[in-house]
Chain A
């Protein structure tokens, strides 16, 4: 359940918080998405989109941290090769 897809905000239209929409790029395809629930979203932000709504701005710092954690798994385990 809850297929939500990441995309990048290209531009934003609408002053009213409720009806604010953004054109979001999902890697070559662009769709107009409601930004009603991400009032702080700015052009260039990565957002998570579910049924036409951005439900959060993705935190790139946290994403980088997770990937670094996954990288470090190999190091201290070391020398075990692939199962």
Chain B
């Protein structure tokens, strides 16, 4: 993190080590910046933890966010951190309620950037109907944190009538994809050094709790949910096929990829199936509920592009095949390691 930092005067314009020291500087940071933006009565109590009641079985999740660059078309590390945890809870069949926020700030992080990220988190939380009720702040030396790392944990109330997970996936089930893939990964790539390109691709970063809850409310039997993040659609399908010991077969022509996202992938030699998403999920439902599930999802903005992409079969178990344009199938697997743009 190179950055000009005005150290003169009482108000520095970027984060210094003192801000994480637990003393006056940190108190000032909380009072003047963090708390007013988050604006939550529980947070304002400035207690060591939040106290609340939630009836019924609970879902609990945690995640860390280290995206680079911090800000990208369609979102930033803040909206990612809120929606990512909200979505993990939704994938457990839960209604997200409360989130914790752990901030690891790098010495030298401009306060203006931090402000934008915090506002983004607040807005994402409001849109998702969750509250940010407890948090922590630490500061590390320059060079140790890419600007900012965020950890969020979340608690939600389980809505699903029966436990959802790979164990319930059976042969004959239909795999539904909630919308077009590859936007997030390519939106971030578009602002990465050397690989930058002009585009209107924006991250699909969004909260998925509402459409998921709608599925349960409509009485759709849901066997499994999985949100697509790093590793893309391919990883999600392979994880389910392996955990459930089933075979999944998808049709390439059914998988929606926006033209410009596809073009960006071609340009960099990437496969859309492996590109990251932040506002998409797959639902595995019994065949008899597939029509209803699609109707419910398509009625909602964020899942308007929902489509059935494949089916579950008994064998060959643990594998995912994709039938391509030429009518021949190929194996879909997770990528090993980081996706390096294929250039030559």
A interface residues with partner B (beta carbon < 8 Å): 1-3, 5, 23, 26-31, 49-51
Partner-binding segment picked from B91-99, B124-132, B155-163, B257-265: B257-265
Q: Are B343 and A27 in contact (CB under 8 A)?
A: no
Q: Which of B198, B259, B344 meets A3, CB within 8 Å?
A: B344
Given A3-B269, A30-B199, A31-B197: A50 and B263 within 8 A (CB)?
A: no
Q: Could you mark each residue 330-344 of chain B with 1 if its beta carbon is under 8 Å from any beta carbon of chain A, else 0?
A: 000000000000111
Interface of A is mostly: loop
Can you offer 25 A-B residue contacts whose CB atoms are under 8 A? A3-B269, A3-B342, A3-B344, A5-B266, A23-B198, A26-B264, A26-B267, A27-B259, A27-B260, A27-B266, A28-B199, A28-B201, A28-B258, A28-B259, A28-B260, A28-B263, A29-B190, A29-B263, A29-B264, A29-B267, A30-B197, A31-B196, A31-B267, A51-B343, A51-B344
**Closest CB in chain B relative to A42 CB, distance in Å:** 20
Q: Which of chain A's residues have a CB closer than 8 A to the CB of B190? A: 29
B interface residues with partner A (beta carbon < 8 Å): 190, 196-201, 258-264, 266-267, 269, 342-344
**Closest CB in chain B relative to A80 CB, distance in Å:** 16
Q: Which of B201, B266, B269, B343 meets A26, CB within 8 Å?
A: B266
**Closest CB in chain A relative to B34 CB, distance in Å:** 37
Q: Which of B260, B342, B344 meets A29, CB within 8 Å?
A: B260
The chain A residue sitting closest to B262, CB to CB, is A27
